[in-house]
Amino acid sequence: MKARILALAAILVLVAASTAPAGEAPKTIRWKVQSCFPLNMPLTDNAVALWAKKVQEMTGGRMTIELHGDGAIVKGPAIYEAVRDGILDAGQNTPAWQKGRFPAGDLFYTLPGGVTEYHDYILWVYGGGGWQLAQEMYKGEVVVFPLGLTPPEEIWTNKPIKSLADFKGLKMRNAGLSMELFQKLGASVVLLAGGEVVPSLQRGVIDAAEFSDASMDLALGLPDVAKYVIGPPIHMGSNMFQLLVNPKSYEALPPDLKAIVREATIAATFEGYARHWSEAIKAFEKIK
């Protein structure tokens, strides 16, 4: 009798196991992300696009990134607000766009005078508390991660610049703290989105522009519309960009995916900088 009871119990366990619902596969998390630059440009490819690729690979497909270029959802200058308000889960940003609201953003972007070579920024951001201060600056409205470094940037102009005096009266596209530098030299400075730079030079709205490094400038078409180029670029060394993340989107992630999102920004920044420099060198050769 005891043996029959044990046998019956075993059968019931097997039946219950066979009829129980199978464990559900982990739900794929999909983020909507936008760059502040067009797709297929060096600073998108070597920053947010590289980050997205690493996130998808490191999560084994548990997290996918729907990446859009500048203007697909919002204009580049509106990335901050779009991430803050949840229109985007994340976005590649430059603090230059928030200069009016967050003047301290220049400290996390670039400084004139050659004090922000790439190693200076690495020390400042990753080892000197810069990352934490950037988060403090944004007051919890977004979660911020450093993402993307550029090689030094040149100035393209249609008027010859032979001395500092030649900047007086120059109408110039610029960004960051160097805007104040050129204003003190007598230039009239304006911050324009990338897509406005070439048409503004062509129409004579501006006389000169700095945009990015040689590879980005070549892709934008600056060598085709400017007569002269000025270097070395002491006004702007390496620029550091950011990945802004919506706090609710970030907090909804499990701990391991939070770590991957964070660590992928570091990996993409270092690998992307090396790739970007290689592309900048090739661009210089084409521009010559």
- CATH number (domain holding residue 163): 3.40.190.10
140 and 253: one domain? yes
Mean pLDDT value of segment 135-160:
94
pLDDT recorded at residue 42: 92
Q: How high does pLDDT run on average in the chain? A: 88
**Residue 251: inside a domain:** yes
pLDDT recorded at residue 20: 38
**Residue 14: inside a domain:** no
Phi, psi of 169 (to 5 degrees): 85, -5
**Residue 265: inside a domain:** yes
pLDDT recorded at residue 111: 77
pLDDT recorded at residue 24: 60
User: What is the SS3 assignment for 254?
Assistant: coil
Strand-pair partners of 229: 156
Strand-pair partners of 83: none
205 and 179: one domain? yes
**What CATH number is attached to the domain comprising 38?**
3.40.190.170
Q: What is the pTM of this model?
A: 0.87
Per-residue pLDDT band for 193 (boundaries 50, 70, 90) equals confident
Strand-pair partners of 65: 31
Are the C-beta atoms of 150 and 212 separated by less than 8 Å?
Answer: yes
Q: Which of 230, 246, 267 is the last residue of a domain?
A: 230
Distances in Å between the Cα of 31 and the Cα atoms of 53, 135, 242, 288 are: 13, 21, 17, 41
244 and 130: one domain? yes
35 and 140: one domain? yes
> Total structural domains in the chain?
2
58 and 168: one domain? no
76 and 174: one domain? no
Helices (H) and strands (E) in the chain, counts: 12, 10
The CB-based long-range contact list for 53-56 (8 Å cut-off, 24+ gap) reads 54/264, 54/267, 54/268, 55/260, 55/261, 55/264
Distance linking the first and last C-alpha atoms of the chain: 96
Strands (E), 69-113: 90-93
209 and 132: one domain? no
250 and 214: one domain? no
| C-alpha angle 202-208-214 in degrees, rounded to nearest 5 | 95
How many CB atoms lie under 10 A from the CB of residue 40?
10
Inform me whether the pLDDT recorded for 13 exceeds 60. no
pLDDT recorded at residue 114: 61
Mean pLDDT value of segment 43-52:
96
**pLDDT over 70 for what percent of the chain?**
90
Q: Which of 230, 253, 278 is the last residue of a domain?
A: 230
**Residue 21: inside a domain:** no
264 and 144: one domain? yes
**Residue 17: inside a domain:** no
Q: Which of 208, 230, 252 is the last residue of a domain?
A: 230
Inform me whether the pLDDT recorded for 266 exceeds 50. yes
Please give the structure tokens belonging to residue 158.
Answer: 């249609």
pLDDT recorded at residue 106: 86
Q: Rounded to an integer, what distance in angstroms lies between the CA atom of residue 128 and that of residue 150? A: 20
Are the C-beta atoms of 229 and 156 separated by less than 8 Å?
Answer: yes
71 and 129: one domain? yes
Q: Rounded to an integer, what distance in angstroms lies between the CA atom of residue 221 and that of residue 205? A: 17
pLDDT recorded at residue 66: 98
pLDDT recorded at residue 74: 96
* Residue 175 domain boundaries: 155-230
pLDDT recorded at residue 115: 55
Q: Report the DSSP pairing between strands 228-230 and 155-157.
A: antiparallel
177 and 256: one domain? no
Task: Specify which of 82-96, 171-185, 187-201, 214-228 reaches the highest per-range mean pLDDT.
Answer: 82-96
**Residue 23: inside a domain:** no
User: What is the SS3 assignment for 283?
Assistant: helix
Residue of higher predicted confidence among 281 and 144? 144
pLDDT recorded at residue 195: 85
Per-residue pLDDT band for 16 (boundaries 50, 70, 90) equals very low
**Residue 190: inside a domain:** yes
Mean pLDDT value of segment 72-101:
95
Per-residue pLDDT band for 21 (boundaries 50, 70, 90) equals very low
99 and 125: one domain? yes
pLDDT recorded at residue 9: 43
Q: Rounded to an integer, what distance in angstroms lies between the CA atom of residue 209 and that of residue 155? A: 6
**Residue 82: inside a domain:** yes
